[in-house]
């Protein structure tokens, strides 16, 4: 392993650093999205049971204790339910935008690293080819196959490492985006159900 790292040179270390960040971002985003979609249906049932009993304070407290975008949407809707349907829609949409942005945090960085990794691999290939040409120039006419080995090894190792990091990054990005889409769909369904449930509460007080 150490021999491969030595053959790859500085560029290989940079690619490995990119790979570490890519894996870290994938795990971080996957955990965040998993928490956002955890027990959303059970949570809504508990909230609606409290609302039907008139326990608005308990319902809001339950939202405070629960992570994820759906509890946050429900919390602001409960707090603003007396302001009327237009205000409910506005505050829930605002919270939805904020929560989606939170789920998508660092995804552009993940995509950028995945795109840059093969470019670094190509740079390593160019450096390896340069080493080979320098060996040809310095060792000619007594050139041996071993004189070209370092350059060829560097070119192949960095290319494979860059492509590997790219594949992992793109796969992770696609997986996270797909999971976020599922959470957004869950948020849209919850939005409709929360609106329907809150319309049965006390109407907004008449304006003076």
Lowest mean pLDDT among 34-38, 68-72, 113-117, 202-206: 202-206
Q: How confident is the model at residue 53 (pLDDT cuts 50, 70, 90)?
A: confident
Tokens for 149, please give them: 């080995």
Q: How confident is the model at residue 206 (pLDDT cuts 50, 70, 90)?
A: very low
Most confident option among 23-32, 125-134, 137-146: 23-32
Per-residue pLDDT, 58: 84
- The angle at the Cα of 179, spanning 14 to 182, to the nearest 5 degrees, equals 160
Per-residue pLDDT, 16: 92
The Cβ of residue 7 has, within 10 Å, a number of other Cβ atoms equal to 19
Tokens for 80, please give them: 């603003």
**What's the chain's average pLDDT?**
81
pTM across the whole model: 0.78
Per-residue pLDDT, 63: 82
Tokens for 88, please give them: 């409910």
Domain limits of the chain?
A: 2-198
Q: What is the pLDDT of residues 151-170, one digit of tens each?
A: 777 788 888 999 999 999 99
* pLDDT(204) > 60: no
Contact 60, 47 (CB under 8 A): no
State how far the Cα of 124 lies from the Cα of 177, in Å rounded to an integer: 31
* pLDDT(109) > 90: yes
Across 83-95, average pLDDT: 80
Phi then psi dihedrals of residue 68, to 5 deg: 110, 160
Across 111-137, average pLDDT: 83
């Amino acid at each position: 392993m150490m021999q491969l790292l030595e053959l790859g040179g500085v560029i290989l270390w940079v690619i490995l650093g990119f790979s570490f960040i890519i894996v870290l971002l994938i795990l971080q985003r996957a955990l965040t999205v998993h928490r956002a979609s955890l027990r959303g249906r059970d949570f809504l049932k508990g909230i609606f049971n409290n609302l039907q009993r008139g326990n608005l304070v308990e319902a809001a407290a339950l939202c405070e204790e629960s992570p994820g975008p759906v509890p946050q949407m429900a919390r602001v809707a409960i707090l603003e339910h007396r302001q009327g349907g237009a205000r409910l829609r506005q505050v829930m949409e605002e919270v939805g935008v904020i929560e989606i942005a939170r789920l998508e945090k660092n995804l552009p960085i993940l995509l950028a690293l995945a795109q840059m990794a093969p470019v670094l691999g190509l740079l390593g290939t160019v450096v390896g080819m340069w080493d080979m040409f320098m060996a040809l120039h310095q060792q000619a006419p007594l050139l041996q196959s071993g004189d070209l080995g370092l350059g060829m090894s560097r070119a192949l190792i960095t290319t494979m490492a860059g492509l590997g990091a790219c594949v992992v990054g793109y796969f992770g990005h696609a997986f996270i985006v797909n999971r976020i889409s599922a959470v957004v769909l869950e948020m849209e369904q919850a939005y409709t159900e929360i609106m329907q449930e809150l319309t049965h509460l006390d109407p907004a007080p008449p304006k003076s």
